[in-house]
Amino acid sequence: MKQGDLVTRKSYGGDVVFKIHEFRQQQAILRGVELRLLADAPIRDLVMAPQIDPLETVGAMRPKWLEAMRRSGGAGAAPQAQSDGWQNTEQPAESSKPRPAYFELPGKVLHLDGDPNYLRKCMVLYNELRVPADGYYVGEANMADALYRLLPQLQPDIVVITGHDGLLKQRERTYGDITQLTSYKNSHNFVNAVRVARQFEKNRDALTIVAGACQSHFEALMQAGANYASSPARVLIHALDPLCVAAKVAFTPIKDTVNIVDVIGLTHSGLEGLGGIESRGSYRRGVPRIEYANRK
């Protein structure tokens, strides 16, 4: 058994597949393969799993909500424009002057992730969904400092702050006070990062913040200034759930609020795993659309 191997835990019935991140004496530090969960376990509690990493498999971890979001006019598909006179064509509407074709400006995402494998998959999907995004692999403890530097430089519309989290093992066994940040592995780091982002931009409609991971302290993240956060019921969330919310915000027009129930209903974990407040979208349209020809 070595670093990078895929394993399960006997004591938990092999319910979650982990990758061994590192060894510390007789303990292994584990990162969830499809769930944003950070855990540790005695080496003797580990069982080898099939060594097929879904993150490295072609076409793997393709979210079920991808096509549903496109069909509903979300990410990757321009919102319906006929209702307010916009149209993406040079042909005149009936009894009206020709209207110019428009160009699109989806909201720009800054995605900080504590897991490099998840980050790579997220960046592939942002590109596929045509969501402009900058992604950085940053350890959870360093995210607040990273945002001090990156926010003024990149000026995003949406910030995703995620990685790995989880209730501390001793707290789970003794049913400790889950209202305390000290009961969580990384929630305090996410809270610090959210505070930095909210100090940079106080208006929750000017900067949308999506924060948290598996079992994160939902209430603390919301109080710190997040628009959307995990995990209201302290459940495990899928690696791509934060991306789903960010992409929907990026393609919701600025004049509309994001339908919270609809967007969270698309995620793997649902309302037990993610919650939030009414927030405006960050998608804009403009005219005229100019096609630049290559000049020799």
User: Considering the domain boundaries, does residue 127 fall inside one?
Assistant: yes
Q: What pLDDT score does 94 carry?
A: 55
Are 111 and 122 in contact by the 8 Å Cβ rule? The answer is yes
Of 193, 185, 240, 179, residue with least CA distance to 38 = 185
Which residues, including other chains, have CB under 8 Å from residue 133's CB and lie 6 or more apart? 108, 109, 110, 111, 122, 123, 126, 127
Q: What pLDDT score does 82 carry?
A: 39
Of 152, 147, 154, 150, residue with least CA distance to 107 = 154
User: Considering the domain boundaries, does residue 273 fall inside one?
Assistant: yes
Q: Are residues 178 and 234 in the same domain?
A: yes
User: Considering the domain boundaries, does residue 294 fall inside one?
Assistant: no
Range of the domain at 280: 65-286
Q: pLDDT of 190-225, one tens digit each?
A: 999 999 999 999 999 999 999 999 999 999 999 999
Q: Confidence class of residue 62 from pLDDT cuts 50, 70 and 90? A: low
Q: What pLDDT score does 110 carry?
A: 98
Which residues, including other chains, have CB under 8 Å from residue 296's CB and lie 6 or more apart? none
User: Considering the domain boundaries, does residue 136 fall inside one?
Assistant: yes
The CATH number of residue 168's host domain is: 3.40.50.2300
Are 111 and 126 in contact by the 8 Å Cβ rule? The answer is yes
Q: Confidence class of residue 80 from pLDDT cuts 50, 70 and 90? A: very low
Whether the per-residue pLDDT at 252 is higher than 70: the answer is yes
Q: Pick the range with the lowest mean pLDDT from 27-41, 62-76, 187-201, 229-243.
A: 62-76
User: Considering the domain boundaries, does residue 1 fall inside one?
Assistant: no
DSSP assignment of 13-64: TT-S-EEEEEEETTEEEEEESSB-BEEEEEGGGEEE--S--GGGSTTTT--T
The H or E element spanning position 161 is strand 158-162
Q: Are residues 73 and 51 in the same domain?
A: no
Are 19 and 6 in contact by the 8 Å Cβ rule? The answer is yes
Q: Of the residues 56, 74, 94, which one is the last residue of a structural domain?
A: 56
State how far the Cα of 254 lies from the Cα of 208, in Å rounded to an integer.
12
* CB half-sphere exposure, 28, CA atoms < 13 A: 24
Sheet containing strand 275-276, strands side by side: 133-137, 109-113, 158-162, 208-211, 228-229, 275-276
Q: Are residues 51 and 119 in the same domain?
A: no
Q: What pLDDT score does 53 carry?
A: 61
Q: What pLDDT score does 265 carry?
A: 86
What is the value of pTM for the model shown?
0.81
Residue type, 9: R
Q: How many of the other CB atoms lie within 10 Å of CB of 87?
A: 17
- Domain total in the chain: 2
Are 72 and 259 in contact by the 8 Å Cβ rule? The answer is no
Of 217, 121, 207, residue with least CA distance to 160 = 207
User: Considering the domain boundaries, does residue 165 fall inside one?
Assistant: yes
Which residues, including other chains, have CB under 8 Å from residue 149's CB and lie 6 or more apart? none
Whether the per-residue pLDDT at 165 is higher than 90: the answer is yes
Q: What pLDDT score does 54 carry?
A: 57
